[in-house]
Amino acid sequence: MNNKYTQSLHGHPPESPHQYFSEMSAYTPDEETKDQYGQGESLQAFEKELSTLFGQEDCMFVQSGTTAQLIAMRVWADQANNSKIAFHSLCHLQIHEHLSYNKLHNLEAELIGQKNRLITLDDLKNIKNIPSAVILELPQREIGGQVPEWQDLCEQVTYLKSKKIKVHLDGARIWECTSYYGKSLKEISSLFDSTYISFYKGIGAITGAALLGAKGFIDESRIWNRRHGANLFTLFPYYLSARKNLEKRKNSFKAYYNKTLEIAEIISKIGIIEMLPKRPQVNMFHLFFPGNHLELKAKAQKISENLNIQVFTHFKECEKKGFCKVEWYIGDSALKVPNAKIEEVLRELI
């Protein structure tokens, strides 16, 4: 959100560096200690807290999810003596990391299913070469935050484990899944052999991630974290931000999802605007507006100025002819905007 507007539709309100450091100063007690190269009482206590929350034996806080997931794939590949891995064709490792899994670790990936839908059990049964590990993303961001039904997910994980394949959860947005599933973070994560979580997205921390799994897996991951050059001299600015914002927002996701369903009803009433999925499963989804993405961006800017609210700034071209796409994440910002004003903005855009 641009600081000049008093309201926003997307995500959480932004913090200036000054505001961030002021809040962190107020949050951090005088007796707080800092880690050194990932070792320190405060950091280990936070990692233990996360292990308990997610029902995993051990945890490693890391600076980025990219590092965490590469490490997970390398550890599982080494343990199985099998350099093959598999994931959806729109997996983060495939489309946002310049094929780092192959360039850095010589891993070979098989892409599962079709890019415009979720992975199915049949897709998993049709994997050509048995991989050491499969990544499942919950929710799947690139297709509007969709998740498989709980029974389908359990069947997929059970099948993969029956084939001695490790199952890794890309849980960058796992916090968002709990309301739809009616399951705790522990119940979801416990299905998987390893889990990655992010703190700077829905949780709203400055940055940071964590990798969770069995102790032996995390022990090996710590070595690879060092090999990646990611074992920084100290992580305290990151894990304190993660801890603070986790405390702040961990109980807010039900409210975000309820607001999302209210907004979905508004969009359905308006018509013309298309939504993916048609009924959101988490507090994010994709909207498809008729028109050119550059024209919509300019129009949104004018609406922002007229109504003193930050409207969408990230319209993109899409495959649907005559339409453009925008991702909408419902967080603290939208909670503060009355539904009547949200409807007014959306009608102005069309």
Q: Is the pLDDT of residue 202 over 70?
A: yes
Determine contact, residues 152/121, Cβ cutoff 8 Å.
yes
What pLDDT does residue 160 have? 98
Determine contact, residues 272/262, Cβ cutoff 8 Å.
no
Q: Is 151 exposed, middle or buried (0-12, 13-18, 19+ CB in 10 A)?
A: exposed
Domain boundary among 205, 227, 247: 247
- pLDDT mean over 42-54: 98
Token couple for 50: 């996360």
Decide if 18 is inside a domain.
Answer: no
Q: Are residues 277 and 222 in the same domain?
A: no
Token couple for 52: 């308990």
Q: Are residues 198 and 331 in the same domain?
A: no
348 alpha-carbon distance from chain centroid? 30
Q: Are residues 164 and 199 in the same domain?
A: yes
- pLDDT mean over 29-56: 97
Determine contact, residues 194/217, Cβ cutoff 8 Å.
yes
Q: Is the pLDDT of residue 2 over 60?
A: no
Determine contact, residues 204/331, Cβ cutoff 8 Å.
yes
Q: Is the pLDDT of residue 3 over 70?
A: no
Amino acid at 142: E
Decide if 178 is inside a domain.
Answer: yes
Decide if 239 is inside a domain.
Answer: yes
Decide if 24 is inside a domain.
Answer: no
Domain boundary among 197, 221, 247: 247
Q: Are residues 224 and 263 in the same domain?
A: no
What pLDDT does residue 135 have? 99
Number of structural domains the chain divides into: 2
Q: Are residues 240 and 269 in the same domain?
A: no
Domain boundary among 247, 270, 287: 247
Q: Are residues 145 and 286 in the same domain?
A: no
* pLDDT tens-digit map of 222-233: 999 999 999 999
**Shortest CA distance to 148 belongs to which of 184, 173, 183, 121?**
121
- Strand-pair category, 194-198 with 209-213: antiparallel
Q: Are residues 175 and 266 in the same domain?
A: no
- pLDDT mean over 178-187: 98
Determine contact, residues 172/195, Cβ cutoff 8 Å.
no
* Residue indicated by tokens 């499963």: 281
Instruction: List, as one string, the DSSP characters of 109-175.
Output: EEEES-TTS---HHHHHT-SS--SEEEEESSBGGGTSB---HHHHHHHHHHHHHTT-EEEEEETTGG
Q: Which residues contact 144 (CB under 8 A, 6 or more apart)?
A: 275, 276, 277, 280, 284, 285, 286, 327
Decide if 300 is inside a domain.
Answer: yes
Mean of the per-residue pLDDT values for the chain? 97
CATH number for the domain that contains residue 233 = 3.40.640.10
Decide if 173 is inside a domain.
Answer: yes
CATH number for the domain that contains residue 335 = 3.90.1150.10
Q: Is the pLDDT of residue 204 over 90?
A: yes
Decide if 2 is inside a domain.
Answer: no
What pLDDT does residue 4 have? 84
What pLDDT does residue 63 have? 96
CA distance 327 to 276: 10
Determine contact, residues 348/298, Cβ cutoff 8 Å.
no
CA distance 312 to 306: 14
Q: Are residues 232 and 272 in the same domain?
A: no
Q: Are residues 167 and 135 in the same domain?
A: yes
- Strand-pair category, 323-329 with 284-290: antiparallel
Decide if 21 is inside a domain.
Answer: no
The beta-carbon contacts of 268-273 under 8 Å, at least 24 apart in sequence, are 269/343, 270/343, 270/346, 270/347, 270/350, 272/350, 273/346, 273/349, 273/350
Determine contact, residues 199/205, Cβ cutoff 8 Å.
yes
- pLDDT mean over 49-72: 98
Q: Are residues 343 and 309 in the same domain?
A: yes
Q: Is the pLDDT of residue 305 over 90?
A: yes
Domain that holds residue 160: 33-247
Q: Is the pLDDT of residue 148 over 90?
A: yes
Q: Are residues 59 and 153 in the same domain?
A: yes
Q: Is the pLDDT of residue 301 over 90?
A: yes
What pLDDT does residue 274 have? 96
pTM: 0.96
Task: Measure Cα distances from 113 to 138, 165, 190, 191, 295 in Å.
Answer: 16, 17, 24, 21, 34
**Shortest CA distance to 66 belongs to which of 172, 214, 189, 184?**
172
Q: Are residues 192 and 259 in the same domain?
A: no
